[in-house]
Amino acid sequence: MANGANALLVGGRRGATEGRSGTPWRTRWAWPLVAVAGAFTLAQLLLVRPGLGLGWDETVYVSQYAAQAPPAFFSAPRARGVSLLVAPVVSWSTSTELLRTYLALLSGLGLCVALHCWRGLFPDRVLAVAGALFASLWVTLFYGPQAMPNLWVALGGLVCAGCFLRARADRRDRAALGGIAAGAALMAWMRPTDAVWLTLPLLVLAALRHPRLALVLLAGLAAGGAQWVIEAYIAHGGLGQRLSDASRIQGGLGWNPAVEDQLRGLAGRTLCRPCTGSLPHPAVMAWWFVLPLLAAAGLAVAVRARRTAPTLLALACAATAAFPYLFMIGYAAPRFLLPVYALLAIPVADALVHLVTRPAGRPRPVAATATALALAGHLAAQYAVLDRTVERTTGHHRDWARTAAQLHRLGVRPPCLVTGADAIPVAYYTGCSSANVRGHNVNSTEAAVRRTAHRIPTAVLTRPGGAPPAYARDWATHRSPLLRLHIAPAPRRKPPV
């Protein structure tokens, strides 16, 4: 067994060469990896309720092709990948349950494909453990069935890095070349700037030693990011202006250490902006401090097993992907680091497998028991955070749905317009257009809103205690669970011709 494993794991070169001659990575599925991906899909469906409702960002992405509501304003940092990903469902169905199920199945398949791209570079058992570690994080489970881009950047990064290692070892491996381009395109399709940060080590290594791979990688990034760049010139005044606007919306990119903010987000704060308050309980944060230690141990294991290059590359891509979100953005969201967790999962799994088994494959009873207990505690903490996060998020989404139902009862029905606080999600739930006259999503003016109110039903939303704009002070005011609803007088109907 040890000899066979050593033959399989000598660097990335041997594995890729064997892949060319017909070993399992391209010709057969590894059933442990399939089982992990299947369990990931099932856990999403059971733990992240399909009826969760859509969040703020989701309503922006979904509305671009939705049958339910007109497109919401699409700000500079966003890319169209998620909108296109969900279009096959939302273009004809308004069922959130169907959308969640579709995304859960798709993310499970994506995880399976991404792990298979690393076969031959690491043993299947290491990859299965890596997949299980990544898939069992509360943030992975929570965002797996959501219309958000970060998990897809993570899966694209795994595909791209794994196939890069294969193609680096075997220049005739066309499937690996295709995987590089596809993974890079998927990342850029979802979040172009994240794609550049994650692939930076690959680009540097390819430029220095593998020019052909550099061209393939750049072609993939260009294919995925072309629409974003073209849209920058059509709708944002050029690429430089779009990047500047994106930086401004994110608080101004620069030296903004956000490590502590990310720690606060581990308790289930899906967006920590501003990020204040106390740190989570140590049991919730512990895994975050253990993660780099196990990753370093995984590198030591890789050196001994002669697969240093794959581990080093995974660590380097994780480091560059993490840098902007830990040190350049002044707020935090746990989903930002999903690509980092996906890449670190492989060396961490390598370290854990080495810890609990002897070289001959026999278990180390004491180490295995201690590791199992630690993982059980970790999973319990992850489930507790996931359960609270789902419960809290479901409550927010239900409040938006109740507000939309109340607007319907008050006569605000499509075609209609909603502006003010929470206008984007409430407008989606109501089936209306949304207008923003201030903030990061400005797409209208008060004068335009007043004109629209003469034509179609219009509502201005304010926080409790907040005052409506001057033009809406004489509108009828109603209370909802979260907001105050200021309803314009019914538009005058044109006399029949």
User: 372 burial class (0-12, 13-18, 19+ CB within 10 angstroms)?
Assistant: exposed
Which stretches does DSSP call E strand in 209-277?
none
Give the relative orientation of helices 338-356 and 365-409 as an angle to the nearest 10 degrees: 160
User: 23 burial class (0-12, 13-18, 19+ CB within 10 angstroms)?
Assistant: middle
Q: Which two tokens stand for residue 244?
A: 């500047």
Q: Identify the helix (H) or strand (E) that includes residue 100.
A: helix 96-116
For 214-270, write each residue's pLDDT tens digit. Answer: 999 999 999 999 999 999 999 999 999 999 999 988 878 889 999 999 999 999 999
List of residues 6+ apart from 310 with CB closer than 8 A: 11, 12, 118, 121, 122, 165, 302, 346
Please state, in angstroms and rounded to a whole number, the distance separating the CA atoms of residues 94 and 311.
43
Residue 377 Cα to chain centre, angstroms: 25
Q: Is 75 helix (H, G, I), strand (E, B) or coil?
A: coil
What type of residue is 197? Answer: W
Strand partners, 485: 461, 478
In order of 225, 338, 342, 407, 429, the CA distances from 127 in angstroms are 30, 17, 11, 50, 41
Q: Which two tokens stand for residue 179?
A: 């995987």
Residue 274 Cα to chain centre, angstroms: 20
Where in the chain are the domains? 2-362, 411-487
How many CB atoms are located within 10 Å of the residue 462 CB? Answer: 18
In order of 13, 184, 435, 469, the CA distances from 194 in angstroms are 28, 10, 29, 38
334 within 8 A of 262, measured Cβ to Cβ: yes
Which pTM was predicted? 0.92
Please state, in angstroms and rounded to a whole number, the distance separating the CA atoms of residues 179 and 162.
8
For 411-441, write each residue's pLDDT tens digit. Answer: 999 999 999 999 999 999 999 999 999 888 8
List of residues 6+ apart from 110 with CB closer than 8 A: 151, 152, 155
Do the bridges between strand 476-479 and strand 484-487 make them parallel or antiparallel, or are there none, so unpaired?
A: antiparallel
Per residue of the chain (497 residues), what is the pLDDT tens digit?
333 333 333 333 333 333 333 344 454 678 999 999 999 999 999 999 777 899 999 999 999 999 999 999 999 999 999 999 999 999 999 999 999 999 999 999 999 999 999 999 999 999 999 999 999 999 999 999 999 999 999 999 999 999 999 999 988 899 999 999 999 999 999 999 999 999 999 999 999 989 999 999 999 999 999 999 999 999 999 999 999 999 988 878 889 999 999 999 999 999 988 888 889 999 999 999 999 999 999 999 999 999 999 999 999 999 999 999 999 998 899 999 999 999 999 999 999 999 999 877 788 999 999 999 999 999 999 999 999 999 999 999 999 999 999 999 999 999 999 999 999 999 999 999 999 998 888 899 999 999 999 999 999 999 998 899 999 999 999 998 789 999 999 886 654 44
